[in-house]
Each structure stands twice: as C-alpha cells, then as structure tokens.
Chain A
Amino acid sequence: GAVVSQHPSWVICKSGTSVKIECRSLDFQATTMFWYRQFPKQSLMLMATSNEGSKATYEQGVEKDKFLINHASLTLSTLTVTSAHPEDSSFYICSARSVGGQGALRLSNQPQHFGDGTRLSIL
C-alpha cells in the first residue's frame, strides 16, 4: 500500500519550456503533498508544501511564480517549472502523506511516501 506515482521520470527539454510534473497517490488520499528538490550528492531540499484545495506554502527562497503548484484533488498534485532554464535542472521528488488517525492524532504520525522522482535536464 501507500504508493505514490510521479510522472514523468525524466525530462529533457529546451530552455524556456515549461515542464509539468505530476504526483499521484494511487491507493490512498493525501491532503498534504510535499515537493522536494535534490542536487547531486546532497540532501533533499523542501520547496513547498501543497494542501488540497488551498494555496501551497513555499519555503524561503523558492520562487512561487517559477514553481507553480496545484493540488486539485486528494490524489493529485502538480509542479510546473515555468520557463525552465539550465539552472533548474535537478532531481525533483514529491511525497504524500496519507489521511489517517483520529481526532488530535489525525495527520500527526503518518509517514511521507515518496514518488520515484523526476530528473529534469534543461538544455
């Protein structure tokens, strides 16, 4: 259980292109999804937290207009890299947290389940 599908797994495109990455929770509902960026041999850097039906919360230093996030349903969040440039080349990973628990414990202890990542290369 708790499978997260991320698509596409890799993208190569020209500078100036906008690229959309999808993150789907296949067998559970996710009110919260996270988008990370990872540079080679480095840790994950949280870019934004995406809540279903509301605006995403971006981390400091992440351009909202550059990285558009839409979380339209409990199973789908998308990240669009607008007008991508070579410096946007990176490994992007999404994760989703399942809705679980009861009362005050709801959401409190569910692990994040990760997609397989998207390798984005901008030429």
Chain B
Amino acid sequence: AQKVTQAQTEISVVEKEDVTLDCVYETRDTTYYLFWYKQPPSGELVFLIRRNSFDEQNEISGRYSWNFQKSTSSFNFTITASQVVDSAVYFCALSDNAGNNRKLIWGLGTSLAVNP
C-alpha cells in the first residue's frame, strides 16, 4: 500500500533561516510520481513540484530545492533564507498507480511558521 509520512507536524523558524521539510514515502510501484504542494492561510493549494521515480536529480527553483533519494524513499524540501511569506502548510503527495485516475496519496502536512 502507498503511504506518505511527513513526520514534522509544525516547524517554527526565524526569517532567513534555512528549513528542510521531510517526506518519506512507501510504494510497491516502480513508476510513481511525487509532489509538493503549498497551502497558505488563505486555503488555496499551490503546486510546487512534480518528480517522477526515474529522475533522481535534485532540483532547485530560486530559494526552493528538493532532494529525491530512492534509496531512503525520501523527497525532502528545503527552503533557503526563509521569508515570512513562506509560512504555510506544505503537503507531500505520491501518485497512485491504479489505472489512469492517478489518485494522490497525501501526507498529513507540515505547518511552517516563519517569524520576522
């Protein structure tokens, strides 16, 4: 069965600190996709990244970076020089390989508070 674990329920940092959000997943599929979404206090979900299981290259997008390691089944997300606007709940998700519907298996989310 697929499962996504975000062990950090809440993280609080001071602005400009670097912060890493952990995501560990379980799946028996050889082909799968991993996602990160951001949910700010206003509630909308913002897509951040999609990574397929065959691409283990780390990705950097501005202050955001992602470290995908199949050996440890982890897909961690790092925010460098955090800002107050980064305060949000961040969800890691895994795509289900059942048919074409591709349901997402969600982690419970990590609430990040960046304090000035």
Binding site for B on A (CB under 8 A): 32, 34, 41-44, 46, 49, 51, 57, 91, 93, 95, 97, 106-117, 119
Q: Do the beta carbons of A109 and B50 come within 8 Å of each other?
A: yes
In the bound complex, residues from chain B placing their C-beta under 8 Å from that of A119 are: 43
Q: B11-19, B63-71, B73-81, B97-105: which lies at the A interface?
A: B97-105
Is chain A's binding surface mostly helix, strand, loop or mixed?
strand
Q: Do the beta carbons of A109 and B33 come within 8 Å of each other?
A: yes
Give Cα distance in the complex from A108 to B97, angstroms.
9
Least CB separation from B42: chain A residue: A116
> Shortest Cβ distance from A43 into chain B, in angstroms?
5
Give Cα distance in the complex from A97 to B33, angstroms.
14
Give Cα distance in the complex from A95 to B35, angstroms.
14
Q: Do the beta carbons of A117 and B101 come within 8 Å of each other?
A: no
Q: Do the beta carbons of B101 and A57 come within 8 Å of each other?
A: yes
Least CB separation from A106: chain B residue: B100
Binding site for A on B (CB under 8 A): 33, 35, 37, 42-47, 50, 52, 91, 100-104, 106-109, 111
Top-4 shortest CB links A-B: A114-B45, A116-B44, A117-B43, A43-B108
Q: Do the beta carbons of A107 and B44 come within 8 Å of each other?
A: no
Q: Do the beta carbons of B104 and A112 come within 8 Å of each other?
A: yes
In the bound complex, residues from chain B placing their C-beta under 8 Å from that of A51 are: 101
Least CB separation from A45: chain B residue: B106
Q: Do the beta carbons of A107 and B106 come within 8 Å of each other?
A: no
In the bound complex, residues from chain B placing their C-beta under 8 Å from that of A113 are: 47
> Shortest Cβ distance from A87 into chain B, in angstroms?
20
